[in-house]
Structure 1
Amino acid sequence: MAGGGDRDASDAELRAGFETLAVTRPDPSAGVYEVRLNRPAQRNALSPAAFAEIPRAMSLLDRAPSARAVVLSAAGPHFCAGIELGGPGDPLSAASADPVAAAEGLRRAVLDMQAALTAIERCRKPVVAAVHGACVGGGVDLVAACDIRCCSRDASFVLKEVDMAIVADLGALQRLPRIVGYGNAADLALTGRKINAMEAKDMGLVTRVFDSKQDLDAGVAKIAKEIADKSAWAVIGTKAVLLRSRDATIEQGLEHVATWNAGMMRSNDLKEAIRAFLEKRKPVFSKL
């Protein structure tokens, strides 16, 4: 797990030093943090700085005892316009006299960007995406790494890479077939067509559609708080087992959850959940 052996992260660390993101805790009494893409003038296109800051934010949240759930949102009228091309640090514009060196440099750059988005998946705390407006290319890669995806009715999704004469390489082709099925993933990736919010829900790309951005923000905050109010150890374990089982056979997944619960079923949270159920009250779970 990201940052598992490091010291705990503080709220001050989570708020400081970000240029492309805004990390906030909207309700100090709740264990929900918001990571907001914060380049509205660029339609939140993913710059080299964004690819450096996303894994840092996720690592800090992974290590923050007060963080129980994360909302990934965006400022401005659109969620994300994809990868920023042509600017400083764009790996496609890097010059080299040696074509092999140029190819290897591009390969390393792609692997680094892949790792940045995978950091969302590897964060132990569940990440809920709140998508509004356009979600293009790398934006789809970004939300595919989240655990739950919701959107407003004005949202649209498109994998544009095929129209740019490249292959999507930041995770959509690996994650989308597991989310929407091979046929739907192939349809999106090979045609480059845009789908609206309701089609995204019908194919399972998002699980809930809200009427407006305001409703989306309120609805996702409620989902995240419901998660944050549960036993942190149960939530962390559930995410870990879901991810392991996704990439394993049923037998391997069952073996993994048996091993996990062999240790985790001794938790104080389980005892408290049973007592609360018998006493007909809300449980008070332990801190991380």
Structure 2
Amino acid sequence: MTDLTFDDLTTLNVTIDNHIAHIQLCRPDQLNSMIPEFWLELPAVVRKIDDHAAARVIVISSTGKHFSAGMDLSVFMQMGKDFSGEPARRAEKMRRSVLELQDSFNALESIRIPVLAALQGGVIGGAVDMVCAADSRYCTEDTFFTIKETELGMTADVGTLQRLPHLIPQGLIRELAYTGRNWSAQEAMAQGFVNQVYADQEAMLSAVMKIAAKIAMNSPMAVAGCKEMINYSRDHSVQDSLNYMATWQAGMFQMPDIQEAMAAQQQKRLPSYEALRDKRSMMSANKKA
């Protein structure tokens, strides 16, 4: 299903073609800073794509010189207005606000389909939180990453400090967090944070779209299983992960996609797989009943 509409978006442009959803941050004159609308639009868009099984892979890129300058000043100003009143209630509201912001990027990790981030220029503050939740990252030679929150007198709170230690060495994440220094594309690749560095955005997007197309050619069930298992194994022991894998296979290991893959290889053609089921179908059926 690719006839979804994404109208009235303030911060994003969305297109879907050949099972690939392309989400672009589209406020280049404002350095794609993350205004309040962004924190609502991003999770809504990726969950809509996933719920409708409208694509098999998502590519997130940006427009302009920088990928994103991170949290917009307006969000900080709104939070500042909340620092009044009885302390316990003020703190409880702050906690819920942070959890809501975290959920915007949790969506990238919890959906069934892979998310590829294509980055250029500055990836600053909240933008680092965001791309840490993607499955894979690619960037241009001029890209730099900054855990900017430290220099602003606060601790990064939307995912960087929780996800980045699983992606790069402990000593490096601590240095980057404590200092807030710029981290170059070349260093990020050497440490395994990004998969590849490209000369410019055009070359990067061309290459990332080819990777996305390769992912989209595979069984969406097999790819969804890979994402589920890799995420689970990051947070659990090897034995727990093996047990979960066995349970998953007990239900998800079925023959149609395997037979189609083997037939396509023998017949030297591209495989054709059924899409994942629309996640809304059960609720829709209950509503009709």
Q: TM-score of the superposition, structure 2-length normalised?
A: 0.91
Give 5+ residue unaligned stretches, structure 2: 277-289
Q: How many equivalent pairs are there? A: 276
Q: Which residue of 2 aligns with 1:182?
A: 170
1:231 aligns with 2:219: yes
1:19 and 2:7 are equivalent in the alignment: no
Aligned equivalent of 1:71, options 59, 84, 93: 59
Instruction: Name the stretch that deviates more: 93-102 or 207-216.
Output: 93-102
Residues 246/102 of structure 1: CA separation in 2 closer, same or farther (3 Å cut) = same
SS in 2 for 1:221: helix
Distance in 2 separating the partners of 1:244 and 1:274: 29
2:131 pairs with one of 120, 143, 146? 143
Contact 2:117 2:136 in 1 (8 A): yes
Q: Shift of residue 87 of structure 1?
A: 5.2
Structure 1 residue 89, shift from structure 2 partner = 6.8
Give CA deviations for 1:188-215 in whole Å, capped at 9, x if unaligned.
1111110111001011111111110110
Cα distance in structure 2, aligned partners of 1:258 and 1:89: 49
Using the TM superposition, give the Cα deviation of residue 93 of structure 1 relative to its aligned residue in structure 2, in angstroms.
3.1
Superposed CA deviations along residues 64-121 of structure 1, whole A, max 9, x for unmatched, are 3330100011111110101112458731333523233322222111110001110111
CA distance in 2, matches of 1:85, 1:244: 35
Q: Following superposition of structure 1 onto structure 2, how do residues 98-247 of structure 1 map, counting pairs within 5 Å?
A: 98-247=86-235
| Correspondence list, 1:83-94, <5 A | 83-86=71-74, 90-94=78-82
Deviation at 1:43, TM superposition (A): 0.7
1:249 to 210, 233, 237: 237
Residue matched to 2:20? 32
Q: What is the distance in 1 between the residues matched to 2:259 and 2:74?
A: 56
State the identity %.
37
Q: Which of 253, 273, 280 in structure 2 is aligned with 1:285?
A: 273
- Deviation of 1:239 after TM superposition, in Å, equals 0.4
> What secondary structure does 2:4 align onto?
helix
Q: What is the DSSP-based 3-state SS (H/G/I as helix, E as strand, rest coil) of the residue aligned with 1:12?
A: coil
The secondary structure found in structure 2 opposite 1:83 is coil
> C-alpha distance in 1, partners of 2:3/2:84?
42
**C-alpha distance after superposition, 1:8-67 (max 9, x if no partner):** x76333x22311111112xx3x10011111221211111111111111011111123330
* 1:92 and 1:106 in contact (8 A); partners too: no
Deviation of 1:143 after TM superposition, in Å, equals: 0.1
Cα 1:105/1:197, change in 2 over 3 Å: same
Q: Quick check: 1:144–1:175 contact (8 Å CA) kept in 2?
A: yes
Cα–Cα, structure 1 residues 87 and 285, in superposed 2: closer, same or farther, change >3 Å? Answer: closer
Amino acid at match of 1:18: L
CA distance in 2, matches of 1:274, 1:150: 31
For structure 1, the 5+ residue unaligned runs are: 1-8
